[in-house]
Amino acid sequence: MIGKTLRSFLILGFMVYSAMVFSQNSGTFSGTVTDSGNGIPLSGVSVFLENTSFGAVTDFDGNYSFRVDLASGDYTLAASSLGYTTQKINVSYSGGDVTNNLALAEDLLSLDEVVVTGNPAGVNKRTLGNAISSVKAEDLVNNGAIAVDQAISGKISGALVQQNSGDPAGGISIRLRGPSTVLGNSDPLYIVDGIIISNSSNSNDLVDLGGNSQNRLVDLNPNDIERIEVIKGAAAAAIYGSRASNGVVQIFTKKGKTGAPKFTLNTNVRINELRKEIDYNTAPLAWVDPFDRENLETVPVERYNLQDEFFESGFGVETFLSVTGGNEKTSYYISGSFLDNEGIIKNTDFQRIGFKTNITQKAFDWLDINAGLNFTRSVSSDIPNGGINAAYGAITGFVFSDNSINPAPDASGVYPVTSLLVPRTNPAEAVNRFDFGQKVNRIITSIGLNAKITDKLSASYLLGLDFYNQSANAFIPINNTSPNGNGFARRADINNFQYNSDLNITYKTPITDNINSTTTLGGSWQYEEFDRIAIDADGLAPVVQVASDGSILSQGETRSQISFWGSFLQQSFSFKDKLYVNGAVRLDGASTFGEDERNQVYAKASLSYVVSEEDFWENTFGDAFSTFKLRGSWGQAGNLTALTAFQRFTTLDPSSINGTPSLRPGTQQGDLNIAPERQEEIEFGFDAGFLNNRLGVEFTYYKQDVTDLLLPRELAPSTGFGSRIENVGDLENKGIEILLRGAPIKTNDFSWDVTATFSQNDNVVTRVAGGGQFALAGSFATNFVIEGEPLGVFFRQFYARDADGSISLDENGYPFRGTTDDGAGSKVIGDPNPDWFGSLINEFAYKDFKLRVQLDAVQGFDVFNWNRRLLDNVIFGGGSNVGQELLGNRPKGFGGAQAGIFEEFVEDGSFVKLRELAISYGFTPPFEGIDRIDVSLVGRNLISWDDYSGWDPEINTAGQSNGVRGFDFAGVPIPRTYQLGINFSF
């Protein structure tokens, strides 16, 4: 009986299975996707059948094709691409091959763009109540930039991108909506394909090179990037918890495309050159006694332009090769690259070798497996500059040098001392004899699973890993002109390891015919490990370059481990695809928090209303005012960059007492109740499209309040400690962001696209407990944190002035210092934070010719010109104003009198730069095997319209420092770059 029943069930199951199998119809969907404005084929467009697993990506010619096994019925075929409005058409399918050609209209507001905000499946931008900016792949290349962060300058509203040094891999700082911390860093959180990566700048942990410290985003090749999404507000970033108060930059690398293998080979050559020299002393005279103002006796001398000793044109070459392809089951992207970029400082360069691969495997109809690997090795030859901590360096020596001394070595190869009063390096010797360099090996890799469990339920898991080893060396030979006359050697190594493990589950379901619900539940575990070891020595023997063979000056080792964990719940509702409500809550924790503060809760909420979807809007405004979306959001986020791994503890320092090993408390007391800094932000704005979306406007207003700011607090001497880091401060950012996009002309042969950005941020430190102000380290006590002022203002000596505002002079015509009404000798004399910044980008295309012009502007900020403070002082003598004193055009020693009045050296740093100028021509060659050839000529940083007397107002000697900005002391200026490139597609 049981056997018969079992056979019956097997037969029934077979019949059901057979019915299911034979009800499926096999066939192919294919066609071409073009731009509706000019008919040009579009590559990289996702074409898919909604609510199925079938789809493909268009090839270079805009063609798509994918096989299906479907039951007969009605389906929706959709085509979407970044920068275009998604098109959907209804198709009836009963088997066989189906051909559908689609034309996409440009979407200036990008409302149909799919973005990732914590949900790996992505959400439509129209659903979001906060502003998110995107940068496409084509905007990241052919612009003379070698790094991703450098390439996005001027392309994102609300993002202030500053290059701190003009060295071949000089560091970049990005601020999204202003600084959000004081002791930590305000760089955003960087995520590459779901992998949280390090963008550290390890200047203080390796060797002191000044402001040219690399940040590790330089390890990514812009050619490998498909797109970048920038999340600026706490409402959007709250999903990432305690690591996101500075915003989030999500980088998505290129993936494989279905079809035959497609190759891309491009190579370019470039020239980097100094954009301008600064004026120097050309007077053929020298004082007999430079210290006696009354003695005007001079002697004839020859003057030398010491800038010629360390500046020169640098050359570069870059080659990139990639291949992409695949079928319905497997797709792949593989690339390799080589970059060699010389700097404008002699004997400096940066080399980068990279390998990148992404593979996607459809294991089952319901499961995709993604794996990625990025390996980079970089080697740099460096010359130290900057002079904040170390007194050696080429430009450092230049500003202290007397340029009446010939810097060339004598017949025996010995360089003369050019700085007579303080020990500084002959700049010619620094570039010719010093040997500084860095080597980095880095691996970024991940594996991910994307599962469609049911039509409503999906899940994803990602394990990402980022590891790099950074090794640096410094060598100054014996018998040199630097303060290390008996030689110097240093070796420092860093191992940085981190990983993140993320699981997300999403459930989508309609509640009614008009209301849809999306619920996402996620959790993550993250871990960071940082190890450093270093040794330095002097007293080297001849030809010896290793620190271990000299007299050890110092040696040390640092270890750090931090764990992060969190979970979140996000809920979204949509009403008739025009009204959207979103909310989320996250529970977050980190090992750096105090025990009672170990777990934090962050929340967010947002509302988006596409008013133009209403019938009354279309009937009233039509195409003249075609799109209008209102949005608003509120959110919370955290910042823990100011917290070191063991900040909460009072550390013990090893020492020796009478030859016996011992431990003694450090000078800084720990705080077991320390908590992360918290940010709360409100944001509202609108997106509007005019003239049938030929003109798009995005407007955003925001206000951020940062509380529990971590600041040093002085302690009474009776405690036995000097200070303690506590949550005793607040600051505020508020501002507006405007983005304009327009397509004034769009024909089959000619198009003109315009993009303009304007951003304004007002920053103020609203509370500083225990005194109200303190100086920031690394600024020579010039940049301050002051309650009621923007972060990092200049607070130093100022001119005494007459009643009419003119500078007061003594009876001999020399200026003197002023005092405030309460008798203080210092006051706020400048602000390195800009009033506003923006960009204007014009792109023209005529048939196969393209022209791109980008202007970047940063206005209303001050720079402290430390170089001029030294050059203008007669006791050093290298500046042009000293020459004016020698020629009798200024009183002798006037620059020396100004040296103690810091107001003199605060200059307006406002600039407008021709950031990018690119012209290209593409054609199909008359021979088989090559699909297309593009030739381009690019200029970067060609012109700077500014009134700054130094080399470049954009640089910052303090590197990626958060609070010490507008600081120019022996920094390397940003070069002008010319690049010629050729690209083959086959």
Beta-bridge partner residues of 556? 534
The residue among 658 and 501 whose pLDDT is bigger is: 501
- Residue 810 in any domain: the answer is no
pLDDT for the residue numbered 855: 97
Q: What is the pLDDT of residues 217-258, one digit of tens each?
A: 999 999 999 999 998 877 766 677 778 888 889 999 999 988
Average pLDDT, the chain: 89
Q: What is the pLDDT of residues 470-528, one digit of tens each?
A: 999 999 999 999 988 899 999 999 999 999 999 999 999 999 989 999 999 999 999 99
pLDDT for the residue numbered 21: 41
pLDDT for the residue numbered 15: 41
- Residue 86 in any domain: the answer is no
pLDDT for the residue numbered 265: 95
Q: Assess contact for 287 and 295: CB atoms under 8 A.
A: yes
Beta-bridge partner residues of 375? 355, 443
Residue 22 reports pLDDT greater than 50: no
The torsion defined by the Cα of 232, 236, 237 and 239, in degrees rounded to 10, comes to -170
3-state DSSP helix/strand/coil % of the chain, to nearest 5: 10, 50, 40
End-to-end CA distance of the chain, in Å? 68
With bands split at pLDDT 50, 70 and 90, how would you rate the model's confidence at 16?
A: very low
Average the pLDDT over 167-180 and give the result.
90
Nearest to 210 by CA among 956, 897, 831, 983: 956
With bands split at pLDDT 50, 70 and 90, how would you rate the model's confidence at 119?
A: low
User: How many Å apart are CA 960 and CA 957, to the nearest integer?
Assistant: 9
Residue 105 reports pLDDT greater than 60: yes
User: How many Å apart are CA 871 and CA 894, to the nearest integer?
Assistant: 12
Q: What is the pLDDT of residues 35-52, one digit of tens each?
A: 877 778 888 788 888 877
Residue 893 reports pLDDT greater than 80: yes
Q: Checking phi first, is residue 847 left (phi over 0); if not, alpha (psi -120 to 50) or beta?
A: left
- Residue 628 in any domain: the answer is yes
User: How many Å apart are CA 350 and CA 339, to the nearest integer?
Assistant: 8
Residue 115 reports pLDDT greater than 80: no
**762 SS3 class:** strand
Tell me how many helices (H) and strands (E) the chain has: 10, 52
With bands split at pLDDT 50, 70 and 90, how would you rate the model's confidence at 121?
A: low
pLDDT for the residue numbered 233: 77
Nearest to 42 by CA among 88, 86, 75, 91: 86
pLDDT for the residue numbered 1: 47
Q: Cβ atoms within 10 A of the Cβ of 980, count? A: 13
With bands split at pLDDT 50, 70 and 90, how would you rate the model's confidence at 87?
A: confident
pLDDT for the residue numbered 48: 87
pLDDT for the residue numbered 476: 93
Q: Report CA torsion sign: 225, 842, 910, 871.
A: positive
Q: Assess contact for 99 and 65: CB atoms under 8 A.
A: no
How far from the centroid of its chain's Cα atoms is residue 52's Cα?
Answer: 38
Range of the domain at 230: 133-274+311-393+434-792+831-861+909-985
Structure tokens at 616: 């009354």
Average the pLDDT over 308-322 and give the result.
96
Structure tokens at 601: 């809760």
Structure tokens at 277: 């020299």
DSSP assignment string, 179-207 = ---SSS--PPEEEETTEEE-----TTTS-
Share of the chain above pLDDT 70, in %: 95
- Residue 888 in any domain: the answer is no
- Residue 632 in any domain: the answer is yes
CA distances from 771 to 28, 47, 510, 715, 785 (A): 74, 62, 58, 12, 11
Residue 321 reports pLDDT greater than 50: yes
pLDDT for the residue numbered 384: 87
Which of 103-112, 267-276, 675-684 is predicted least confidently? 103-112
Residue 85 reports pLDDT greater than 80: no
Which of 114-123, 236-245, 488-497, 843-852 is predicted least confidently? 114-123
Q: Cβ atoms within 10 A of the Cβ of 875, count? A: 18
pLDDT for the residue numbered 460: 93
Residue 783 reports pLDDT greater than 70: yes
The residue among 381 and 651 whose pLDDT is bigger is: 381
Nearest to 133 by CA among 232, 62, 58: 232
- Residue 412 in any domain: the answer is no
- Residue 894 in any domain: the answer is no
Number of domains in the chain: 1
The residue among 463 and 121 whose pLDDT is bigger is: 463
pLDDT for the residue numbered 759: 97
Which of 21-35, 499-513, 809-823 is predicted least confidently? 21-35
Q: What is the pLDDT of residues 908-938, one digit of tens each?
A: 999 999 999 999 999 988 888 888 999 999 9
Q: What is the pLDDT of residues 533-569, one digit of tens each?
A: 999 999 888 888 888 888 888 888 889 999 999 999 9
pLDDT for the residue numbered 563: 92
The residue among 246 and 659 whose pLDDT is bigger is: 246
pLDDT for the residue numbered 670: 85
pLDDT for the residue numbered 10: 40
pLDDT for the residue numbered 12: 42
With bands split at pLDDT 50, 70 and 90, how would you rate the model's confidence at 204?
A: low
User: How many Å apart are CA 897 and CA 814, to the nearest integer?
Assistant: 7
pLDDT for the residue numbered 238: 65
Nearest to 328 by CA among 67, 42, 581, 701: 67
Average the pLDDT over 404-414 and give the result.
93
Q: What is the pLDDT of residues 263-283, one digit of tens each?
A: 999 999 999 999 999 999 999
Maximum CA extent, the chain: 127
Residue 624 reports pLDDT greater than 70: yes
- Residue 30 in any domain: the answer is no
User: How many Å apart are CA 80 and CA 86, to the nearest integer?
Assistant: 5
Average the pLDDT over 351-371 and give the result.
94
User: How many Å apart are CA 652 and CA 928, to the nearest integer?
Assistant: 72
Q: What is the pLDDT of residues 738-778, one digit of tens each?
A: 999 998 988 888 999 999 999 999 999 999 987 789 999 88
- The domain that holds 740 is classified in CATH as 2.40.170.20
Average the pLDDT over 646-656 and give the result.
82
